[in-house]
């Protein structure tokens, strides 16, 4: 296994496959339509512009088995130390600890970049993702009932947060 810094040219197609499986088959993403390569190009541009990492994990066969990233939580200045993250695992490789490895790398990256709060918005019925986050010390910070509607039912969105010891010297403005 090896961690990589994902790039549009080399990983977009594999990430797109993972995203679209999640969109079409799960409530991990509250989206209806599969993403396109144009969507991925904009997604990568946004990550680059914000200096947000896209961390991937490749297996010995060279397949991208998992990835994660974080980005702006809310686009207001006082939220500058908070980021919302996501972790996705290829459907053929779930339950093997890859999501855990990606989450650990995201925590390390957020700490290195001096963020204070990592926030995960998780479908309240996604017990696997909730357990993963709790393993790393994330705590439940609230649930928005009936926040989304997908697959013919209302979905509750639970928020989990991890407070980091950073930044070393927070400032206003």
State residue 6's pLDDT score: 83
Q: How confident is the model at residue 68 (pLDDT cuts 50, 70, 90)?
A: very high
Residue 7 has pLDDT above 90, yes or no: no
Tell me how far CA of residue 53 lies from CA of 97, 134, 141, in angstroms: 20, 22, 24
Q: Could you give the strand order of the β-sheet that contains 64-72, starting from the edge strand earlier in sequence?
A: 2-5, 54-58, 64-72, 82-89, 117-123, 153-163, 139-150
Selected residue with higher pLDDT from 152 and 10:
152
Q: Is 32 helix (H, G, I), strand (E, B) or coil?
A: coil
Q: Where are the domains of the chain?
A: 2-163
Share of residues in the chain with pLDDT > 70 (%): 100
Q: Burial of 86 by CB count in 10 Å (0-12 exposed, 13-18 middle, 19+ buried)?
A: buried
Q: Which CATH class is domain 2-163?
A: alpha beta
Q: How far apart (Å, rounded) are the C-alpha atoms in residues 41 and 105?
A: 23
State residue 173's pLDDT score: 84
CA 110 centroid distance within chain:
12
Name residues whose C-beta falls within 8 Å of residue 127's C-beta, 6 or more positions apart in sequence.
none
State residue 4's pLDDT score: 72
Q: Per DSSP, what are the bridge partners of residue 74?
A: none
CB atoms within 10 A of CB 45: 11
Of 100, 139, 108, which is closest to residue 122 (Cα–Cα)? 139
Residues in the chain: 173
> Largest alpha-carbon pair distance within the chain?
47
Confirm if 147 and 155 have CB atoms less than 8 A apart.
Answer: yes
| Preceding omega of 167 cis (within 30 degrees of 0) | yes
Q: Over the stretch 103-125, which tens digit does the pLDDT of each residue have?
A: 999 999 999 999 999 999 999 99
Q: Over the stretch 130-142, which tens digit does the pLDDT of each residue have?
A: 999 999 999 999 9
């Amino acid at each position: 296994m090896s961690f990589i810094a994902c790039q549009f040219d080399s990983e977009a197609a594999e990430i797109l496959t993972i995203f679209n499986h999640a969109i079409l088959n799960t409530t991990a993403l509250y989206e209806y339509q599969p993403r396109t390569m144009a969507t991925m190009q904009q997604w990568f541009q946004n990550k680059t512009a914000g200096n947000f990492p896209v961390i991937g994990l490749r297996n010995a066969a060279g397949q991208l088995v998992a990835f994660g990233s974080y980005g702006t939580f809310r686009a207001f200045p006082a939220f500058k130390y908070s980021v919302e993250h996501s972790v996705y695992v290829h459907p053929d490789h779930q339950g093997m600890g890859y999501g855990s490895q990606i989450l650990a790398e995201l925590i390390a990256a957020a700490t290195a970049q001096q963020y204070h709060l990592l926030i995960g918005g998780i479908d309240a019925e996604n017990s696997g993702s909730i357990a993963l986050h709790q393993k790393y010390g994330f705590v439940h910070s609230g649930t928005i009932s009936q926040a989304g509607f997908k697959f013919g039912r209302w979905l509750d969105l639970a928020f989990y947060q991890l407070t980091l010891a950073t930044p070393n010297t927070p400032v206003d403005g």
